[in-house]
Amino acid sequence: MYFQTFVATILALHAMAAPSPSGDSEQGSGGEVVIPNDHPLIHFHGRWDASPGTWWAGSGFKLHVQDLSSLTLNLGPHTTSPLASIGVSVDYAPFYQVNVSEGVNVVPLTGNVTQDTESKSSQGKKTSVVRVNVEGWQDNRINLETIVLNKGAELLPYTPSKLAFQFIGDSLSAGQFLPQGVDQAWPFLTGEFFKAEHNVNAQPGAALSDIVSYGNEHGVSYQYFRTEDTGYFDTTDHNFTTPWNFLRDRPEPTHLVVHIGANDASQNVTAEAFVKVFTTFLGRLRGLYPTAPFFVFTPWGWPNADGSVSYYYPGAHELVVQERHEAGDLNTFLVNTTGWVTWEDVFPANQHPNVPGHQKIAGLFEHWLQSWGLRPEKEWATAL
């Protein structure tokens, strides 16, 4: 409703191009190309509500653009105030951080993004791929109204990778405490290594069990099936949840990874109860993803300065996988992460992996997956 009012106001007051019901591009007053938020060639990933606005770390979009030289995001009032940090990657280069807020946001494009990138189109023009995602596990909402490209630019189809990872977890997967949030976390790095699409549904402090835990009103076994992350509870303009339509995940995940349990243990959930909720959760996921391999991480534990590691739920994750096998699901695999994380790999104040620690975890998991039989794509699916 707000977005329709916004469009009407802009048309009346400024006579500028605005999102059209058909999703077609429009021309701005200076010849710029204005892309409405319902344009079919915007490739959205992660969780977006109807505004449209982002939830969960890592949600965002991809653009494939011909003759790109400038990019502006016009963001609405549901954008985190005073700002939200987004990660931006141009032509598959490393992600860099840009802070955005409600209103007009000119996104810097590092270098000449159209230089030395030959398009395979018959026109012989140059194309660019721009990837944008919210970095944070909180303060991570961008409310997209329009995208403005330079005069002469043309939005092209984005072809997603054949590989698509779905990661599920807590703070140990969400990139909490990292300077660039989820963009420096091991799930994100693993997806990039394999040249894959990747969604990360991970919430710091949340248990898998549907209980209140460290400010989270629900557990991941509930929240994963909702559009909103657990931050909805304290968001005055959106303090409700809506079911997520999994048909919106394009492509459907080809590989699913779960690393969770630390907060269940901290909330004194018994091992027996944890195994039960985890087994049931995987059963629900199998209904959504009938052919995808599932990878269940064992806890890497909490490293200590004396070299010891405190583990939680010993043997529980092994039992979860065993029970799935006994139920006939032989496409669920255990990833034993014992010894993967040491004191040098974590922040001393909170025992969460630091930047090198996440890189180490990603490297070990990438090696594990290659030994299992998965190979990185040779190139990104949307060629430059």
Domain membership flag for residue 308: yes
Q: Report CA 50 to chain centroid distance, whole Å.
A: 18
At which residue do the structure tokens 């190979």 appear?
A: 375
- Is the same domain home to 236 and 93? no
- Is the same domain home to 76 and 132? yes
CATH label of the domain that carries residue 292 = 3.40.50.1110
Give the mean model confidence (pLDDT) for residues 294-301.
98
Domain count, the chain: 2
Domain membership flag for residue 380: no
- Is the same domain home to 204 and 81? no
Amino acid 203: pLDDT? 97
Amino acid 111: pLDDT? 46
- Is the same domain home to 231 and 338? yes
- Is the same domain home to 79 and 189? no
Give the mean model confidence (pLDDT) for residues 197-202.
98
Tens digits of residue pLDDT in 166-193: 999 999 999 999 999 999 999 999 999 9
Q: Where are the alpha helices (DSSP H) in 175-304?
A: 186-193, 220-223, 262-266, 271-288
Tens digits of residue pLDDT in 57-101: 999 999 999 999 999 999 999 999 999 999 999 999 999 999 999
- Is the same domain home to 51 and 6? yes
Give the mean model confidence (pLDDT) for residues 300-320.
98
- Is the same domain home to 111 and 172? no
Query: What three-state secondary structure class fits 31?
Result: coil
Tens digits of residue pLDDT in 3-55: 343 333 333 333 333 333 346 777 776 799 999 999 999 999 999 999 999 99
* pLDDT > 90 in the chain, percent: 86
Of 113, 112, 88, nearest to 99 (Cα)? 88
- pLDDT band per the 50, 70, 90 thresholds, residue 116: very low
Domain membership flag for residue 260: yes
Domain membership flag for residue 378: no
Angle between helices 316-326 and 271-288 (to 10 degrees): 50
Domain membership flag for residue 384: no
Domain membership flag for residue 381: no
Q: How far apart are CA 106 and CA 74, in angstroms?
A: 9
Give the mean model confidence (pLDDT) for residues 331-345.
98
Amino acid 383: pLDDT? 84
Q: Residue 39 gets which letter from DSSP? A: -
Domain membership flag for residue 149: yes
Of 135, 156, 177, at which residue does a domain stop? 156
Of 339, 344, 382, 333, nearest to 364 (Cα)? 339
- Is the same domain home to 66 and 136? yes
* Consecutive H or E run containing 11: helix 2-14
Amino acid 14: pLDDT? 34
- Is the same domain home to 274 and 344? yes
Q: Where are the beta strands (DSSP E) in 126-269?
A: 127-134, 144-149, 154-156, 164-169, 197-202, 255-259
Of 102, 127, 156, at which residue does a domain stop? 156
Residue 129 near residue 63 (C-beta atoms within 8 A):
yes
Q: Residue 171 gets which letter from DSSP? A: H
Domain membership flag for residue 382: no
- Is the same domain home to 362 and 266? yes
Q: How far apart are CA 265 and CA 223, in angstroms?
A: 19
- Is the same domain home to 310 and 349? yes
Of 121, 156, 191, at which residue does a domain stop? 156
User: Which tokens go with 112?
Assistant: 């000449």
Minimum mean pLDDT range among 69-78, 111-120, 221-230, 231-240:
111-120
User: 91 is in which domain, residue-wise?
Assistant: 2-156
366: left (phi over 0), alpha (psi -120 to 50) or beta: alpha
Tens digits of residue pLDDT in 231-257: 999 898 899 999 999 999 999 999 999
Q: Where are the alpha helices (DSSP H) in 196-344?
A: 220-223, 262-266, 271-288, 316-326
- Is the same domain home to 139 and 212? no
Which residues, listed in sequence order, are joined to residue 353 by a DSSP beta bridge? 346
Tens digits of residue pLDDT in 357-379: 999 999 999 999 999 999 999 99
CATH label of the domain that carries residue 120 = 2.60.120.260
